[in-house]
Amino acid sequence: MTTATTATTAGPADPAGAPAGGGDGGGPPTGAPTGLAGLGHRLGRRRGWIAPAAVLLILLTLPYSALSIPLLLDGPVNSAGSLQLFALCLLFGGLALSYDLLFGRTGLLSFGHALYIAGGAYGTQLAMSEWGMTLVPAALTVVVLGSVAACLLGAISLRTLALGGVGFAMVTLAFAQAGSIWVQRNPGGLTGGEEGLPLLAEAIPDAFIGVNNTVNLYWLALGYLVLTAAVVWTAAASPAGKVWQAVRDNEQRVSVLGRDPFRHKLGVFVLASALALLGGVVYLVVTAGVTPHASTPEFTLTLLVMVVLGGAGTRWGPVIGGVLFIYLDHRLGALGVSDAVESLPHALSAPLAEPLVVLGILFVLAVYLVPGGLAQAGWRPARRSKRAAAATASGPEAGNTAKGSTR
């Protein structure tokens, strides 16, 4: 639980996170804080750590509550089933945050994030079963090796940016697909093919095994989320984070100002990949194994959906999106096979039994109706509309000049 304590201290000690946060990374360019603005700045700074602390407090008390919420959960809050669901939700909140580092913060549309998640999960499992390592050394080895690989693949993927962001998207997609095919082909009987790999029980601490110990999975997932949030929020508020944001908004200007966009993008890619690798390790433990589904590009697309649903580039958006998506995915799956839906005519009940149909439609609607994501829906509407107006005033023009000069 060292991660939790470091994160709680990192939360308040995260000074610039407050102005950039409080909702969004794409906030108005804050000049020197003077007068009223300065007051707001200081207030914002204080508010900046109250919310994470409150959320963390609730999450810390959750496993001790025997509260029963009839429609929303199957059993009491601290039952094994609910805790498993919560652990998965928190894990995906963290994974979505790591993805948002690329998509929301830096504007890099990667379709290869799943490669690193699956790499973390499969790599750890293989390091444990083939090299006889225990969980922690295996995880560390995989994160280090995977980060080196991410550095290499990221450098290749970022070379294609001459095609615009789309080249990057496609090349990361191709790499992820290659990894996915490799996993499904079951080379040398290593990856278990379609079935995936079950978690090697001997190599991991006893605390993570058995239904009675589900609460420890919850703590593990919470620790991962807190660590990821601390890293992402601190990194986004650091000088490098400001450059990432600048790369997102206007890459040309960044290079004109003498910063190397390539190096910054590679840096953020490796950081996000390292977090994803770690997430893969947690995924392996929480789901007690790994299936090829975790390596498919579709897995990355669901992360993208989570981030956009919640609010890309915002402080809480990816977490909200990830938690909500996984929760709905599970509950809709349960609802789809319930009697109420079964009794509907087939034409209606069949799509309802596929959670992805409902979630996909929700997602498409959200792109139109809540463009900033749920984290910004109904949140300071005045400011948002002002920003939207500013964006429409300057957006297309900026886009045109950028495009015109790249051609």
- Which residues contact other proteins by CB under 8 A? 109, 156, 159-164, 166-167, 169-171, 173-175, 177-178, 181-182, 185, 297-298, 301-302, 304-305, 308, 350-351, 353-354, 356-357, 359-361, 363-364, 367-368, 371, 395-396, 399-400, 406
The answer to whether the CB of 225 falls within 8 A of the CB of 94 is yes
Least distance (Å) from other proteins to the CB of residue 351?
5
Please say which residue, 172 or 234, places its beta carbon nearer to other proteins. 172
Q: Which two tokens stand for residue 258?
A: 């003498």
Count of beta carbons in the 10 Å neighbourhood of residue 350: 13
Smallest distance from other proteins to CB 159, Å = 6
Residue 332 Cβ, how far from other proteins at the closest point, in Å? 11
The residue among 188 and 239 lying less far from other proteins, judged by its C-beta, is 188
Distance CA 108, CA 161 (A): 10
β-partners of residue 76 are: 68
Neighbours of 140 (CB within 10 A): 15
Identity of the residue, 14 or 251, whose beta carbon is nearer to other proteins in the bound complex? 251
Six token digits for residue 20: 């950039």
Residue with tokens 């994030």: 113
Rounded Cα–Cα distance for residues 326 and 321 (Å): 9
Angle at 27 between CA 45 and CA 405, to 5 degrees: 145
Residues β-bridged to residue 197: 290
Q: Where are the beta strands (DSSP E) in 361-406?
A: none
Tokens linked to 31: 């000049």
CA–CA separation, 254 and 244 (whole Å): 9
The nearer residue to other proteins, 177 or 213, going by C-beta atoms, is: 177
**In whole angstroms, how close is the CB of 165 to other proteins at the nearest point?**
8
> What is d(CA 181, CA 158) in angstroms, rounded to the nearest whole number?
22
In the bound state with other proteins, the residue whose beta carbon lies nearer, of 46 and 263, is 263
Tokens of 33: 């804080």
Rounded to the nearest whole angstrom, what is the least distance from the CB of residue 32 to other proteins in the complex?
32
**Of the two residues 41 and 331, which places its CB atom closer to other proteins in the complex?**
331
**Phi and psi dihedrals of 68, rounded to 5?**
-115, 120
Q: Distance (Å, rounded) from C-alpha 232 to C-alpha 382?
A: 28
Q: Which one, 31 or 346, has the nearer CB to other proteins?
A: 346
Work out the burial of residue 101: count CB atoms within 10 Å of its CB; fewer than 13 is exposed, 13-18 middle, 19 or more buried. buried
Compare residues 223 and 321 and give the one whose CB is closer to other proteins.
321
Residue 275 Cβ vs other proteins, minimum distance, rounded to whole Å: 22
Q: How far is CA 364 from CA 24, 173, 297, in A?
A: 21, 21, 19
Find the shortest distance in angstroms from Cβ 135 to other proteins: 30
Question: What residue has token string 């929760």?
Answer: 327
- Classify the C-alpha dihedral 139-141-146-148 as positive or negative: positive
Minimum distance of other proteins from residue 356's CB (angstroms): 4
In the bound complex, what is the minimum distance in angstroms from residue 362's beta carbon to other proteins?
9
Min separation Cβ 232 and other proteins, Å: 20
**Between 385 and 406, CB nearer to other proteins:** 406
32/407 with CB nearer other proteins: 407
Residue 198 phi/psi, 5-degree rounding, is: -80, 150
